[in-house]
Structure 1
Amino acid sequence: MQKKLLGEERRTMLLDLLKESREPLTGSELAAKANVSRQVIVGDITLLKARNEPILATSQGYLYMPTTAPAALAERIIACSHGPGDTEEELNLLVDHGVTVRDVRIEHPVYGDLTASIMVSNRREVKQFMEKIKTTNAGYLSELTEGIHLHTISAPSEKALDEAEEAMMAARFLIEQ
């Protein structure tokens, strides 16, 4: 029987696992390693975030995002509009141009700006994101705003962002400015 890790010892182990991993780790994976429930892990991650640890919750799991990036990335925000049925096509179009879709943001009439991390960079991650939406029966943030939303996108170069934006315009996913 595996020893159940307690409190600070468990949070230290979680932080070490996240720092060492290049891939997102799910709450269930972390729970199994610490011999606790997934809900305990959710609480631990919340406490670590409160200590300003750069942990990002994505649809694929938790990522440790160090403050100093190894290479400077070009980044911009794009304004989009489409129905829920076009989400997978939109994300695939962006990642096929070498772009990472970092988040989705909407302006809600009651809550103001709402942002959710997406962090997809390739078709495999888009597929995982879409499967998670389907299996959890979750809605898209953009459904709250009749399809209007923003994405923060990043890429190794401005040229890649320009090409992705042109493709989004051709697909009629961008809101013309």
Structure 2
Amino acid sequence: MRAEERRQAILDILNQSGLPVSAASLARQFSVSRQIIVGDIALLRAAGADISATPRGYVAHQPSPAGLVRQVACRHDALGMETELNAMVDQGCTVLDVIVEHPIYGQLTGPLQLSSRYDVTQFIVRCTQADARPLSDLTEGIHLHTLSCPSEDAFQRVRTALRDMGVLVEG
């Protein structure tokens, strides 16, 4: 398979998958190295493909996510991250990303795509294994999350849970 054909096949896989796809699984599928896949993704992005790297793999952005899209502002230390994320997914919402406002770089966004306690646990494990610190460490714990919620009621339950935890930042 030629490189251009492989890149188109990768894009097709990402567009058809409802879940993130890891570089390692793509590498196995196409019998190439993971680094080749990383390069292919970079070339696809340079050509205009809207692909994000999440903690669980690559995702091609679809038109808007199902349900309501809302944001919440939170403030907590790194130890509160798992509890905060679980509070959101427990209400049926998907945590699409985390956003911080950096004084030099402006808005920094990290795609998450977490929709279950299993996803949250896997994210926390990867953070621990990589000795990675959350983006909110850059802003004294203040950050936003974009959520895809099945209903306004689910979003309000998230706000209530976060308020009860003492991490919701309200205007």
TM range (shorter): over 0.9
Partner of 1:23: 19
- Offset from partner CA, 1:48-76 (integer Å, 9 cap, x none): 1233323232111112332265x4x2111
4+ residue runs over 3 A deviation: none
Tell me how many residue pairs correspond in the alignment: 171
CA distance, structure 1, for counterparts of residue 134 and residue 103 of structure 2: 16
- For normalisation by structure 1, the TM-score amounts to 0.90
Within a 5 Å distance, the mapping from 1:1-177 to structure 2 comes to 5-67=1-63, 71=66, 73-177=67-171
Gaps of 5+ in 1: none
Moved more, 10-19 or 135-144: 10-19
Amino acid at match of 2:53: A
Aligned 8 A contact 1:54 1:67 in 2: no
Q: Which amino acid aligns with 1:172?
A: G
Distance in 2 of aligned mates of 1:134 and 1:27: 20
- The CA deviation at 1:121 is 0.7
| 3-state SS of paired residue (2:123) | helix
CA distance in 2, matches of 1:101, 1:66: 16
Q: Distance in 1 between matches of 2:86 and 2:59?
A: 21
- Structure 2 unaligned regions, length at least 5: none
- Aligned-partner residue type, residue 45 of structure 1: I
Q: Per-residue displacement from partner, 1:88-122 (whole Å, max 9, x unpaired)?
A: 00000100001111111111111111111011011
Q: What code does the residue aligned with 1:125 have?
A: D
- Identity percentage of aligned residues: 44
